[in-house]
Structure 1
Amino acid sequence: MPPQHTPNPAALRQYAERLSLSIDGDEAAALAEQFAEQDAVLDALDALVLDDPPERDYWDPDPEEDELGGWLTRCDVARDGVGGPLDGLTVGVKDNVAVAGVPMTCGSPLLTDPAFVPARDATVVDRLLDAGARITGKTNMDEFAFGGSRESLRFRLARNPRDPERQPGSSSAGSGVVAATGEVDLAIGSDTGGSIRFPAAWSGVPGIKPTRGLVSHDGFVQYAKTLDNVGFLAPSVENLALGLDAVAGPDPRDERTCGHEAEEYAASVADADPAALTIGLPEELFGKAPDLDEVVREAVDELEAAGASVRSVSITDYDYWLPAWLGIGMTEVGNYLASNATNYWSFSPGDPELAARLQEARVAGEPELGASLQAAMLYAEHRTATDGDAAYALAHEARRRVVAGVDGALAEVDVLASPTVPKLAPTWDEAVDDLFGALSNTGPFNVTGHPAVSVPCGTVDELPVGLQFIAPRGADATALRAGAAWTGLDG
């Protein structure tokens, strides 16, 4: 355990003032004595022996071989003698997902000196290795998955494979790059507002944000527990399905997975038939980028010509997605960072070594957390001071209404279809002028927890356009089947 502060009356009165509590001098003295006794009990935790990281080789990427900045660390990790459905398949892992014995930075200098090295594989990594996959490196990402700017890629600038002067999509930028260039067969990403689907759309590859709770978050350093999803990018929908087959389903280390049963994903995409699909076009997800809308509608027209049924639908209470996403996301990320990546209200709160390292780094003050993350922490404190987190509770009520609206839109169709991101990839010299507008087709489904698959469906100005399919919660196979039906037509 990290060093403890000796409780004393003066410190307790300061704590009380910060918490809007009132204690007098005698009460503070009594509490100081009580807390010292309780701290002595906790000293027994120092006897716990934590695992040491295994010996695994890793090395820095060669900049000449990695001109697009897809990697932060390279490695070659596989299980000797293990065969399975992913035998020989190569995997890149976003650097907020633990690979034991290999440094994990979460894209932040706070975890580099010395390197933070996890002692245990994340559940998704463990399951991929059990299925025969080979981990070939940790991929580049925005600091703690809070991205969208040149400044948030703290180590290396990731570049779009279609145009290196453009953004590849955040925050799973490196995973998008290595999937699009074919350097891996599968790449793990995480998605809080579109962080898998943005690189899928902008770098021109398939990607899936699974149903919330289908994939374990054990060993994953989160952004916002309500909105986060661990998923995949890959050169093909078929590889997405293979990856999900390997990792989906309940994990005793992550209680959010309880009750989530896996489907047969690879089987669902084999010979996917457009004629078996009924597609809904939500009016709320169109009209923001007419050129991109046209490309997506042409793709849906091709699916309809191949036998799919298409109809217009509407998502009631759709406009609540943004206050729900903002109220939940900013509160959760700010408090998560303030508590050193410890997830309160969870039976799997996090890695004690990581929490200790982050505390040491933050107290030392050098290097500093990036400006956008400092702002997130301060905003969470501001909201607590403003209304005692009542807005956070109201945001969850708004979330439930958006869930009902999406469920209603899906009631008589198999999937919803839309542009993935209503904006082309900007250059690195351009700011994303309307961030919330850019998130408006992806963020709602982080709020609701529905699965979403993005597949490339054409270009505008020679830049990729993504086609997004959203399915009912738990029907990830349906979303993948829709993606495979389109890519089968597209050839």
Structure 2
Amino acid sequence: MAPSTPENGLDKAAFKDLVATFGFQMTPQDEADYFALVKGMEDEVHEVETLPAYIDPRLVPSVATPVSARTYSVPDKSDNPLNAWSHRFTLKDDAAVATGILAGRTVALKDNISVAGIPLTLGTHPYQLSTSPDMPYPVPSIDAPIVTRLVESGGVILGTSTCENYCMSGLSDTSATGPVENPWLKGYAAGGSSSGSGALLAISAVKKWHQKRSLPLDEGQLAEGVDLAIGCDQGGSIRFPVAYSGVYGLKPTHGLVPYTGIGSLHPICDYAGPMATSISDVALLLSAIAGYDGIDPRATPETPLRKNVPAYHTLLEAAIAEKQASGGWTPTTAGKGLRVGLLKEGLALPKLDPNVAAVVRAAAAKFERLGATVVDVSAPLHSKGGAIWTATMRGAAADVFLASKAPDLPAFTTTEVAAPALTQEWFDIMTKSSPMVVTAALGSAYMSDTARFPHRYRSKAMAHLAQLRAAYDAILADVDVLLLPVTPSVGPPHTIKAAGETGNVSALAMYELNLGVSDNTAPFNVTGHPALAMPGGWAPAATSEGSGESKKLPVGIQLVGKHHDEVGVLLAASIWEVAGLGLDEE
């Protein structure tokens, strides 16, 4: 193996400095021996670095649309009035469209998912991620497994959807391209960080809602949407957009859907999942994308192999059909046998809008009218869930989402995404665009200092994570699902009116607005429970500056179930809708 040189590797002076940081006293022989051993480690690292790049065969791009034939465009504002599209392209397999379970349904992918030949932006600014001075954004050479599965299932991928800056916002105004608009009310948050995916789905929901009521609608302000979408969720980033935009989204059980080839915050909280305009479509899309890919370390022994993945949509249909056959699918009988736990702490958020609380309590009452048993349940540690989320991973999160650090277990992490240079220019840009990213960088640097935070801090946090998981499990042993709000309010007005223009809003206020919405969502990211967000009703929107009459926006309700009981969660949601859709509750 080729030895390192003093210019680019360890020399004896640098080794002496290293030893001094430990305070070790060494004999000349020990010093020589340990220098040779550490230098040998360095040489082996450099040896591996010189090997040719390797792509796992399971990540080779889909041949249905070869990379050479993948053309893309950045949509014009007139074709993208909600700023919900990042890049437009078409990826499909005509044979699969004719036979697959998705049968030509159109799909949008959050722009943190690798698609070979298509720029990957992570919602941030040009040249922050790219390893090439000639390329504003990195262009992956792999298809994430979730992409291949969508194409093999007959889906037609129409592009990537706008996501928030480094996926670090629960609202929708931090993307480098500017705010993503709520399709129900322009100037208001569509929810993040899968903001574009939620908005593109809601376009058809808005159109149908207005058509059903013969209400006027300027469809030119919405443009083209999609049937289905993929979101990613580290603290609520599937559930926020669907709650704010009045559609449906599932954060599956941890590891059920492979996260390989997707921009990560931290493996402990990463999820990819289905977003749709109905419960049945959520189940259908989950069937298309679930199952261990043989690579993702987030999978557990309970995660089914791809060939053993249940047909969630078929199981849901069968469960409904069984109830229908016995006459138990009516607005007064559909809920019989179902037990729902109304989570006390979920309704005790200090900033919970009373109108949102009223919608959730009305949802509980609706379950009771359907014949379900609703009981008040309590998990006191739920109120510490956000702190547990922070303590388990914040020390390493910036290394993962800014520098693409690979998981500590075997995995495949792209080497095509560069870490940004954390310069003054970077700080100035990100403070205007997303103070959450700067906070993560500073916080991770501070919390990763083991002199201040020995590893026992995280070890204790992991123990309390297990305690929180056990607390939910204990409740779910007695009830089928937990019911609680998704967000503390409906979508608020945009703070950032255009890309990078924060006005007079402080970094602290921006952080609290964007990440202060996750108290009821982030706990389930670290405990791994499946959580569905769906429309539950309406509440008044906060009046934005200079606006006139108050308008309403959708309120999301959340159903949480046992690990790997996605069908049970989807069935409970379907039961609730027997008595009418949430957005019918006007």
Name the TM-score, length of structure 2 as normaliser.
0.76
SS at match of 2:48: helix
Aligned with 2:405 (options 342, 359, 376): 342
TM-superposed CA distance for 1:457, in Å, is 1.2
Q: Return the alpha-carbon distance in structure 1 between the equivalents of residues 453 and 483 of structure 2.
A: 38
| Stretch moving more, 373-382 or 200-209 | 373-382
Check if 1:54 corresponds to 2:144.
Answer: no
TM-superposed CA distance for 1:380, in Å, is 1.7
1:88 is matched by which residue type in structure 2? G
Contact in 2 for aligned 1:168/1:202 (Cα 8 Å): yes
Aligned with 1:248 (options 290, 298, 310): 290
Q: Return the alpha-carbon distance in structure 1 between the equivalents of residues 232 and 202 of structure 2.
A: 17
Match of 2:544 in 1: none
| Stretch moving more, 52-61 or 461-470 | 52-61
Aligned with 1:370 (options 424, 427, 430): 430
Within-5 A mapping of 1:413-424: 413-424=479-490
Q: Which runs of 5+ in 2 are unaligned?
A: 1-6, 205-224, 321-328, 496-504, 541-551, 582-586
Q: Return the alpha-carbon distance in structure 2 between the equivalents of residues 193 and 255 of structure 1.
A: 19
Aligned with 1:98 (options 114, 121, 134): 114
| Stretch moving more, 116-125 or 45-54 | 45-54
User: CA offsets, 1:427-485, max 9 Å, x none?
Assistant: 11385656665212111111211000011011011111111100001101111112222
Q: Return the alpha-carbon distance in structure 2 between the equivalents of residues 402 and 344 of structure 1.
A: 23
SS at match of 2:557: strand
Q: Return the alpha-carbon distance in structure 2 between the equivalents of residues 16 and 104 of structure 1.
A: 42
Provide closer, same or farther for how the CA distance between residues 114 and 422 of structure 1 changes in structure 2, counting only shifts above 3 A. Answer: closer
Contact in 2 for aligned 1:316/1:406 (Cα 8 Å): no
TM-superposed CA distance for 1:79, in Å, is 1.5
Provide closer, same or farther for how the CA distance between residues 49 and 21 of structure 1 changes in structure 2, counting only shifts above 3 A. Answer: farther
Percentage identity across aligned positions?
A: 30
Provide closer, same or farther for how the CA distance between residues 459 and 364 of structure 1 changes in structure 2, counting only shifts above 3 A. Answer: closer
Q: Which runs of 5+ in 1 are unaligned?
A: none
Contact in 1 for aligned 2:396/2:448 (Cα 8 Å): no
Provide closer, same or farther for how the CA distance between residues 479 and 20 of structure 1 changes in structure 2, counting only shifts above 3 A. Answer: farther
TM-superposed CA distance for 1:23, in Å, is 7.7
User: CA offsets, 1:379-425, max 9 Å, x none?
Assistant: 12212321234322221111111101111111111101111112221
Match of 2:565 in 1: 475
User: CA offsets, 1:210-245, max 9 Å, x none?
Assistant: 000111011111112111211122111111111101
User: CA offsets, 1:304-355, max 9 Å, x none?
Assistant: 21222211111142233122111124223123146x212231211401233x
Match of 2:216 in 1: none
Aligned residues: 483
Check if 1:324 corresponds to 2:388.
Answer: yes
Contact in 1 for aligned 2:538/2:553 (Cα 8 Å): yes
Q: Return the alpha-carbon distance in structure 2 between the equivalents of residues 466 and 48 of structure 1.
A: 43
2:338 is matched by which residue type in structure 1? L
| Stretch moving more, 467-476 or 80-89 | 80-89
Check if 1:45 corresponds to 2:135.
Answer: no
Provide closer, same or farther for how the CA distance between residues 190 and 22 of structure 1 changes in structure 2, counting only shifts above 3 A. Answer: farther
Q: Return the alpha-carbon distance in structure 2 between the equivalents of residues 13 and 349 of structure 1.
A: 36
Within-5 A mapping of 1:172-191: 172-182=194-204, 183-191=225-233
Q: Return the alpha-carbon distance in structure 2 between the equivalents of residues 116 and 86 of structure 1.
A: 30
Match of 2:123 in 1: 107
Within-5 A mapping of 1:23-422: 30=36, 33-34=39-40, 37-39=43-45, 41-42=47-48, 44-46=50-52, 54-55=67-68, 56-82=70-96, 83-109=99-125, 110-111=128-129, 113-148=135-170, 152-182=174-204, 183-259=225-301, 260-261=303-304, 262-270=309-317, 271=320, 273-287=334-348, 288-337=352-401, 340-354=403-417, 358-359=418-419, 361-362=420-421, 370-371=430-431, 372-385=436-449, 386-422=452-488
| Stretch moving more, 384-393 or 399-408 | 384-393
SS at match of 1:194: coil
1:90 is matched by which residue type in structure 2? T
TM-superposed CA distance for 1:48, in Å, is 5.4
Provide closer, same or farther for how the CA distance between residues 299 and 99 of structure 1 changes in structure 2, counting only shifts above 3 A. Answer: same
Provide closer, same or farther for how the CA distance between residues 251 and 445 of structure 1 changes in structure 2, counting only shifts above 3 A. Answer: same
Q: Return the alpha-carbon distance in structure 2 between the equivalents of residues 186 and 228 of structure 1.
A: 20
Contact in 2 for aligned 1:455/1:487 (Cα 8 Å): no
Contact in 1 for aligned 2:170/2:237 (Cα 8 Å): no
2:518 is matched by which residue type in structure 1? L
Q: Return the alpha-carbon distance in structure 1 between the equivalents of residues 529 and 169 of structure 2.
A: 22
Provide closer, same or farther for how the CA distance between residues 319 and 149 of structure 1 changes in structure 2, counting only shifts above 3 A. Answer: closer
Match of 1:466 in 2: 556
TM-superposed CA distance for 1:128, in Å, is 1.0
CA RMSD of aligned residues (A): 2.8
Contact in 2 for aligned 1:402/1:448 (Cα 8 Å): yes
Contact in 1 for aligned 2:169/2:514 (Cα 8 Å): no
Match of 1:427 in 2: 493
SS at match of 1:256: coil
